Every structure is written in structure tokens, then in C-alpha cells.
Chains A and B, each alone.
Chain A
Amino acid sequence: GQQVMQIPQYQHVQEGEDFTTYCNSSTTLSNIQWYKQRPGGHPVFLIQLVKSGEVKKQKRLTFQFGEAKKNSSLHITATQTTDVGTYFCAGRIGNQFYFGTGTSLTVIP
């Protein structure tokens, strides 16, 4: 079964609106990574979170790792058309990384 759940599956936003995607695991994660995949492309690593409660920012992107290390979120402020793509989380359990199902973001100009 799916080890890491991600919601929503799809999100359409007007340009300038905010966007958030959430990942949840029933198992404690060693760390969590986030990736972005542009349409027709391959996943590209964005960031890794390791510590409980960790928050990291990359320009308009804010990443959080839950206190229990079972959930994480990615928030984009004031979306732009360049943010279009599918965002994946990947949680580490043992020696494996389990990817979420991804959230496909469409930004309407």
C-alpha cells in the first residue's frame, strides 16, 4: 500500500494566489524531500527536511516538517506561471524513499 499520502491530487489557482500541498505518513519518517516535475520533464530535487518541526524557505516556497515527523507541507506564496508542474514529497523509511502521488499545479494567468 501507499506509504506516503499526498493531497490534493490536482490544484488550479489563479496567478497570484497561494498554493499548498500536504504529505502524510502513518510511519515516522527519517527525513522528507520535495521534488518538482515540470510537464514532460523529470523530477528535480528542491529540498530536504530532517529535524522535527523544521521550516525552510526558498524565495516564495515554504517547507515544513511536522513535529512528529509524519507529515510535511509545501506552501507557495503568490503563484506564478513558472510554478506549473507536479510537486512530489518523498519520505525516507529505512533505506527507501517513498514518493507521494504528487500534486499537479495549474496556474491560470
Chain B
Amino acid sequence: EAQVTQNPRYLITVTGKKLTVTCSQNMNHEYMSWYRQDPGLGLRQIYYSMNVEVTDKGDVPEGYKVSRKEKRNFPLILESPSPNQTSLYFCASRRSPGQGARGYTFGSGTRLTVV
């Protein structure tokens, strides 16, 4: 089944404790993105990647890191989480224009709480 898999689904952590949210897709998509969803603010892009070893900042990159060492994986790293990073996070992937671009396929989400 074509899908984007993110883990964990739920995470409660303490301020300053480094964490990684994993994301993997099995559709050979070149584009991958991370979004955070907050009430009243919709989906805001954190980072995106157009291909392996190519990453760019989105609208709200502060406090986050990403890497794209292989096409299928795009982990989101919070080096020192703070309470304002409490949010619902979505990883998403899509085909590039060269692949016949369509819409994003989203993962099921990770609900992160930083206390």
C-alpha cells in the first residue's frame, strides 16, 4: 500500500531533550515536506526537500533540522524542544513535475507535547 509512515504518533517530552520524528514513504516520491498544524493557523511548512541531499527552509524552520540522505526517509529533528513547538506535525510527499506532479500524500501525524 502506497503510504507515508511517521513515528511516533504521540510523544510527550521535556524541554531541551532532543528528539527525532521519523518519516518514510514507499512511493519513490522526490518531494517531501514537514508541516505543523496549529489551531487557527492551518498548515505551515517547516522544511521541504526536492530530492536527496537537497533541503530548504519553509515558513517556520526555527528550532528544527532535517536531513535527506536517501529518497524514502525525511526525519525531523528537534535539537532542543521548547513548549512553543507543541503541535501536530505532518510529513508529506509528492511526485516532482518530472514524475507527473500531483497532490501531497500525508502521513497520519505526530502529536507532540513539550512540557
Quick check: A100 and B42 within 8 Å, CB to CB?
yes
For B38, give the chain A residue with the smallest CB separation.
A101
Quick check: A48 and B42 within 8 Å, CB to CB?
no
For B102, give the chain A residue with the smallest CB separation.
A48
Residues of A within 8 A of B98 (CB): none
Q: What's the Cα separation between A46 and B56 when bound, in Å?
A: 26
Given A95-B48, A95-B50, A99-B35: A45 in contact with B103 (beta carbons within 8 A): yes
Q: Does A73 interact with chain B (Cβ within 8 Å)?
A: no
Interface of A is mostly: strand
Quick check: A6 and B42 within 8 Å, CB to CB?
yes
Quick check: B48 and A43 within 8 Å, CB to CB?
no
Quick check: A42 and B102 within 8 Å, CB to CB?
no
Given A43-B90, A101-B40, A102-B42: A48 in contact with B35 (beta carbons within 8 A): no
Write out, one digit per residue, whether chain B residues 7-42 have a CB within 8 A of any chain A CB (1) or not (0): 000000000000000000000000001010000111
Residues of B within 8 A of A68 (CB): none
